[in-house]
Structure 1
Amino acid sequence: MRAYVSKLLITLLFMSLTQGVLANDRTAPEWDISEWINGDGTTLASLKGKVVVIDFFQLWCPGCNSFSVPLMAKWEQQFADEIAAGNLVMLSIHTVFEGRDYQNPKKLRAYLKQKKIQRLVGIDRHIDDDEIPETMKRYRTRGTPEMAIIDKEGRIRFQRFGSFDPASGVQLINKLLVGDPGNP
């Protein structure tokens, strides 16, 4: 029994330490967007050769408003030269899996204006009455906020639900920008 408990604790510790890491190094799926805001839409395939940072968010999500939305704004300033040079793309996907009537495109536009978000924002497509939108399914996100960092070859190098150490994200983005796939 003691050996079983020890193995269980080690397994749980490993799982907690690797949360968000097990999804890494898989080919990023194409997103399925019903509408783009703040610019013309894009496809993941058209971004090959660039590092891509995606923030999956909802406008009423407390973690999004306290962590991922401000972090994206900070990273946009920090990586402004790389974004301007076309080496890095930062975009957000409004992936609503609850409160669809409230979190509609009109309210999203007002939210983006209030938060001064000018990056490209896609609205994750819902098929019929399915509560879970298509891109959320494809990326296997567990909720919001969730962030993904995709390398120049189109592979997910980092995907994390909730908050994380932003310095580790900066370090990975810098590695990927110089072509070092690194170990996330």
Structure 2
Amino acid sequence: MSTAADMAPELEVGRWFNTPTPITLAGLRGRVVALHTFQMLCPGCISHGIPQATRLRKMFAQKDVAVIGLHTVFEHHSVMTEEALAAFIHEYRLDFPIGVDIPGTNNPVPRTMQKYALRGTPSLVLIDRSGRLRLSHFGQIEDMQLGAVIGQLLAEPGETQSAPADSALSDAGSGRCEVGANGKRTG
């Protein structure tokens, strides 16, 4: 049985793209959720994170796996506007839902990014069918490794399984944009 502590926190999104209605994690129960966080000016997001989210969207049935992008800006706020994001989504032909993380209060790190204690972008969060946070990973994950973890989550019969280990996934990879103690990028 899941406890409140196991449950993934709800997303704090100010605007949604590619969806007619706002998305909630509660509304996605019954599906595995792959939440890819990114920034338009993050090299690792452009080279790895966004293409991986696009491949995931094509690989798994939407009734089983919900792929969501989260534009979570912790730097260069003045140039990464919603208008620029709309053009970015159009130019890259992104068709999965993308939310804009709400800016932090007295903190350059956006609210959802804070709730999930994300270190930077790209990051990947996996949430199981019951709404439990099962993986939070900063940097690149090889497609085969990610597919295996998602396959495990899809094969689970219910809330009785334990979380897959993140330790087998390498935290290596170039082009990551990491948040420092002052909210500035360190990588």
Judge same fold: TM > 0.5, yes or no: yes
What residue is the counterpart of 1:28 in the other structure?
8
The aligned length equals 156
Q: In structure 1, list runs of 5 or more residues that go unmatched.
A: 1-24
Match 1:44 to one of 15, 20, 25: 25
CA separation in 1, counterparts of 2:51 and 2:6? Answer: 27
CA separation in 1, counterparts of 2:25 and 2:119? Answer: 21
Q: What TM-score do you get using the length of structure 1 for normalisation?
A: 0.80
Kindly indicate which of the two structures has a greater share of residues assigned to helix.
Answer: 1
CA separation in 2, counterparts of 1:50 and 1:150? Answer: 9
CA drift of 1:95 comes to 0.2
When Rg is computed on C-alpha atoms for both structures, the one with the higher figure is 1
> Higher RCO, 1 or 2 (CA under 8 Å, sep at least 6)?
1
1:164-175 residue pairs with structure 2 within 5 A?
A: 164-175=141-152
What residue is the counterpart of 1:183 in the other structure?
164
CA drift of 1:178 comes to 2.2
Q: In structure 2, list runs of 5 or more residues that go unmatched.
A: 166-187
What residue is the counterpart of 2:178 in the other structure?
none
Matched, 1:88 2:34: no
Tell me, what secondary structure is at the counterpart of 2:121? coil
CA drift of 1:120 comes to 0.5
Q: CA RMSD in A?
A: 1.6
What residue is the counterpart of 1:137 in the other structure?
114
Question: 1:128–1:160: structure 2 CA closer, same or farther, 3 Å change rule?
Answer: closer
Structure 1 runs of 4+ aligned residues shifted over 6 Å read none
Q: What TM-score do you get using the length of structure 2 for normalisation?
A: 0.78
Q: Given residue 7 of structure 2, which amino acid in structure 1 is its aligned partner?
A: T
